[in-house]
Amino acid sequence: MLNRQGRPSQAGEGAAERHETFTGNRALQQIEPLIFEIGHHESTGVDIDRPAPFKSRLGKHARQSEIGLPGLSEPETMRHYVRLSQKNYGIDTGLFPLGSCTMKHNARLNEKVARLPGFSDVHPLQPVSTVPGALDVMLELAHYLMTLTGMPAVALSPKAGAHGEACGMMAIKAAIAAKGEGATRNVVLVPESAHGTNPATAALIGFSVKSVPARADGTVAVEDVKALLGPDVAAIMLTNPNTCGIFEPQIVEIAAAMHEAGAYFYCDGANFNAIVGKARPGDLGVDAMHINLHKTFSTPHGGGGPGAGPVVLSERLAPFAPVPFIHVEGGKSRLVEHKADAPEGNDPFGRMTAFHGQMGMYVRALAYMLSHGADGMKQASEDAVLNANYIRAGLVDLMSLPFPDHPSMHEALFDDDWLKGTGVSTLDFAKAMIDEGYHPMTVYFPLVVHGAMLIEPTESESKASLDLFVATLRDLAIAAKGNDKTRFTAAPHHAPIRRLDETRAARQPVLKWEKPAPVKEAAE
């Protein structure tokens, strides 16, 4: 007997004891094969009249055989895509504790506003005179981003955090070139704890990367930065709060040291959500910083198209901001599309995107800002920090902290010291969380912490939700220490697909579906 995948059932003898099923489904969690595995090219959900005979002009280019596209009836198509959509664990399904990713609630009000036809139907090729409202939204968003960061300029067009990093580093490169130091200043300092995008960006823009060691307490020491400074250093890329969830205590001294050495300070602002309304990067000496609108200002991570990673710039870098941008003079605004149209004193380094960025994200972020107000945004930061520390306090007696002397900001970082001798690894623990209905936290990042577990609950979780999460992790931690190894090493037990060979998947990815050889149905 063949199951839904057209393969012999894996259940077999002893299936009941192993809780394995004939279909591969786990109760109402249905496994869904690829459409190629269930569709047949002779099936269709619609009836289309055969075209009247005609003389093809394609000649030898005409298709000689069936393409073999999979066809399904309308109800089958509906089920296929609805089932696939249900495979998606998202912030609308449950707590999503991924550290460094800030999976917070996407306010429905933002979604409603972004769907207003005036915003959702606007086209980037419309004449500028027909979209003054869209330009106003961009100007207002820019105003609040500059106000919240204490910075005098912002480039809105980058489409994500990493894209923003590229924008900031290109502005730095242009500023260095303008000073005639392009040939000599080619080193970028990046702390060991940095997100992988930081060294990757620096290298992509043509800099060579020097690593700044992490102190035993997870922060960067100004002395270590100074020791690396020289006439060849262009900039430092420093994350604050850093990827260990700690506010860099010497950030002001580091900024001053960079400036004194004629270099720039790029701040990775992915964690800005921890300090909005509390500290302004401009006051800390930052020259460029990207803001992930999908983290700090609650726009969705995907779904609505690409994201947005605007970059705020200091006075020194503002002239090099990329086109397009909106220039306001004498109360009138105009769109600067080309370098040649830039106002005097501006020397844009180029262009990051074909058009002006992600309008849908701008509208959502502005709706978030306006609906929260200054006090609401400050409270969101305070609550994000409170929630992270609540989780830390709830687990600290069972799980070990690599940096116990620093309070956590918006995320709580644990290491795997507490798992020593249990036979359970960070990965096993994360997989066991799936059985409990939680998306795992970020694991093995930052790299400076052994077996890192980085938990970011965000401000949007209620106390009840945090209590259940802490209780679940406590139960798992006690089981791990009690040597209940199989709960972990074979996890997930209850997911339709069990533990994957992630190393093999990364090293030998199968990216193309191949039609499997037909299998013979076993005689009943």
Ligand X SMILES: Cc1ncc(COP(=O)(O)O)c(C=O)c1O
Q: What would the x/- binding string for ligand X be over residues 68 to 97, using CB under 6 A? A: ------------------------------
208 has which bridge partners? Answer: 187
State the binding string over 135-164 for ligand X (x if CB under 6 A, else -).
-------------------------xxx--
Paired residues of 329 in beta bridges: 332
CB 268, CB 237: distance < 8 Å: yes
Q: Which residue is nearest to ligand X (CB)?
A: 161
Q: Which CB atom, from 95 or from 270, has the smaller least distance to ligand X?
A: 270
In our burial notation (b when 16+ CB lie closer than 10 A, e otherwise), range 468-495 reads bbbebbeebbebbeeeeeebbeebbbee
Q: How far is the CB of 198 from ligand X (least distance, A)?
A: 7
DSSP lists the bridge partners of residue 26 as 29
Q: Which is nearer to ligand X, 199 or 394 (CB)?
A: 199
* CB closer to ligand X out of 199 and 282: 199
Residues 308-337 that bind ligand X (CB under 6 A): 309
Q: 428 by DSSP, 3-state: which?
A: helix
Is the Cβ of residue 293 or residue 401 nearer to ligand X in the bound state? 293
Q: Is 199 in the site for ligand X (CB under 6 A)?
A: no
Q: Which CB atom, from 290 or from 487, has the smaller least distance to ligand X?
A: 290
Dihedral angle computed from the Cα positions of residues 395, 410, 162 and 173, in that order, rounded to the nearest 10 degrees = -130
CB of 235 to ligand X, least distance (A): 15
Question: Which run of H or of E encompasses 188?
Answer: strand 187-191
Q: Is 328 helix (H, G, I), strand (E, B) or coil?
A: strand
For the chain, first and last CA: distance in Å? 7
Is 195 a binder of ligand X (CB under 6 A)? yes
- Return the residue of 101, 154, 170, 212 that touches ligand X, per CB under 6 A: 101
Contact between 415 and ligand X by CB under 6 A: the answer reads: no
The residue among 196, 200, 193 whose CA lies nearest residue 224 is 193
Q: How far is the CB of 388 from ligand X (least distance, A)?
A: 15
Please report whether residue 281 would count as binding ligand X according to CB under 6 A.
no
Identified binder of ligand X from the candidate list 268, 416, 456, 461, rule CB under 6 A? 268
Residue 186 identity (one-letter amino acid): N
Q: Counting contacts by CB under 6 A, is residue 299 touching ligand X?
A: no
Helix axes 463-481, 359-395, angle to 10 degrees: 50
Contact by Cβ (8 Å): 352, 167:
yes
Backbone Cα Rg of the chain: 27
Q: How far is the CB of 165 from ligand X (least distance, A)?
A: 7
Q: Which is nearer to ligand X, 242 or 314 (CB)?
A: 242
The smaller minimum CB distance to ligand X, of residues 97 and 492, is found at 97
What tokens appear for 244 in the block? 């260990």
If binding means CB under 6 A, how many residues of this protein chain bind ligand X?
Answer: 14
Query: What minimum distance in Å lies between the beta carbon of 99 and ligand X?
Result: 8
Closer Cβ to ligand X, 251 or 477, answer by number: 251
Per-residue tokens: 304: 């609505």
Both tokens of 118, joined, read: 């005036």
Residue 61 to residue 194: CA distance in whole angstroms: 53
Calpha distance 151→289 (Å, rounded): 9
Task: Please state, as a whole number, how many other Cβ atoms lie within 10 Å of the Cβ of residue 377.
Answer: 21
Q: Interface residues for ligand X in 225-264 (CB under 6 A)?
A: 239, 243
Cβ at position 242, least distance to ligand X in Å: 8
Compute CA distances 334 → 124, 143, 145, 407, 494, whole Å: 15, 16, 20, 46, 58
Nearer to ligand X, 311 or 380 (CB): 311
As a residue count, the chain comes to: 524
* Cα separation, 483 vs 477, whole angstroms: 10
Helix axes 197-204, 161-178, angle to 10 degrees: 40
User: Judged by CB under 6 A, which of 156, 270, 413, 424 binds ligand X?
Assistant: 270
Q: Residue 480 has which token pair?
A: 């791990």
| CB closer to ligand X out of 308 and 419 | 308
Q: Applying CB under 6 A, does 292 fall inside the site for ligand X?
A: yes
Q: From the CB of 391, what's the least distance to ligand X, in Å?
A: 18
Single out the residue of 197, 240, 298, 422 in contact with ligand X (rule: CB under 6 A).
197
Least CB distance to ligand X at residue 455 (A) = 14
Residues that bind ligand X (CB under 6 A): 100-101, 160-162, 195, 197, 239, 243, 268, 270, 292, 307, 309
